Amino acid sequence: MNTALATLDSFSDRIASLDARWVLVALAFHLGNLTCRAIAWKGILRAAYPAARIRLLDVGAAYAAGVAANAYLPARGGEAIKIGLVRLRIPGSTVAGVGASSGVVLLFDAIVGASLLVIAWALGLVPALPQPSPLVVGGAAAGLALAGVAVAAVPRLRANLRQGASILASPRLYLRRVVPYQAGAWACRLGVAFAMLAAFGVPATLPIAGLVVVASGMSTLVPATPGGAGTQQLLIVIALQQVASATSALSFSIGMQVGVTVVNTLLGFAAITLVFGRLRPAAVREALRS
């Protein structure tokens, strides 16, 4: 108990001594990250539904609401909220099609995240690449197999999925409308981590910031934990063990996650109020059931 109280006191002291200038820089980068991702998703949706009027404000609001919900719902439940809200704002769209467009966004993220992890390992910032659990691998393989069977058995579903991911059929369009903005979003994520490291007085370099981003991303793979809470703290403490004490790394991790969660929550509520008005949760459920 004494250790817990000491950690709490250390955390309070570090919060009180934060460099506000770096916190504002981190906030600007975070807003840039969300904006770039919304623009990239809008580009994917425009290719899928060229006849529809797709507003960046609608897509950005849905994205912000989903990101906010991910901090409170397990298994990244906010993704369903993103899809449901965008489905409501695009006439003629389908849940499967919008879901496939969201999957195109995640495809780029998976490639970049894996690349950063390999780079961190090559630089010696992590001792070894993580070994996936056989249970997780088996469950993922079974899920993919079932999804493949379902897609093959339902032609309409297959057509909707193909429509949602139609931008992949035009690499030049994908490179122009999506890649620059998603690359910008990743650069902003690195900027957030760098600025927050500096704000907490932890040694800030781009490799270390990249390691923080990778650790934060890996923590969200634990489906039962909303926002990767707990898991994120453990991974960041391990990631920063060569440059910071466990107490400093833990204070940094908690502070960054709490700060990002508060900002995302405020943005999510503001986005819903601004664009969707008094949207009832039942409307989202109906969109997902349609």
CA distance 174 to 168: 6
Residue 61 has pLDDT above 80, yes or no: yes
Mean of pLDDT over the chain: 79
CA distance 117 to 34: 22
Token pair recorded at residue 210 = 């990249």
pLDDT for 11 equals 58
Q: Band of the pLDDT at 243, cuts 50, 70, 90?
A: confident
38: nearest Cα among 156, 185, 139, 142: 185
168, burial (CB in 10 Å: exposed 0-12, middle 13-18, buried 19+)? middle
- In this structure, of 29-33, 113-117, 129-133, the range with the lowest mean pLDDT score is 129-133
pLDDT, tens digit, 9 for 90 and up, residues 2-24: 444 455 555 566 666 678 899 99
Q: What is the mean pLDDT of residues 59-78?
A: 86
- Quickly tell me which residue has 């994917």 as its tokens: 44
Can you give the pTM of this predicted structure? 0.80
- Quickly tell me which residue has 């900002």 as its tokens: 263
- In this structure, of 13-27, 128-142, 257-271, the range with the lowest mean pLDDT score is 128-142
191, burial (CB in 10 Å: exposed 0-12, middle 13-18, buried 19+)? buried
18: nearest Cα among 209, 216, 263, 251: 251
What are the sequence ranges of the domains in the chain?
A: 2-289
Q: Are 277 and 289 spatial neighbours (Cβ–Cβ below 8 Å)?
A: no
Distances (CA, A) of 148 to 75, 125, 155: 21, 37, 12
Cα four-point dihedral sign 279, 284, 286, 290: positive
Q: Band of the pLDDT at 285, cuts 50, 70, 90?
A: low
Token pair recorded at residue 4 = 């817990």
Distances (CA, A) of 205 to 139, 192, 193, 195, 243: 37, 12, 10, 10, 11
pLDDT, tens digit, 9 for 90 and up, residues 23-39: 999 999 999 999 999 99
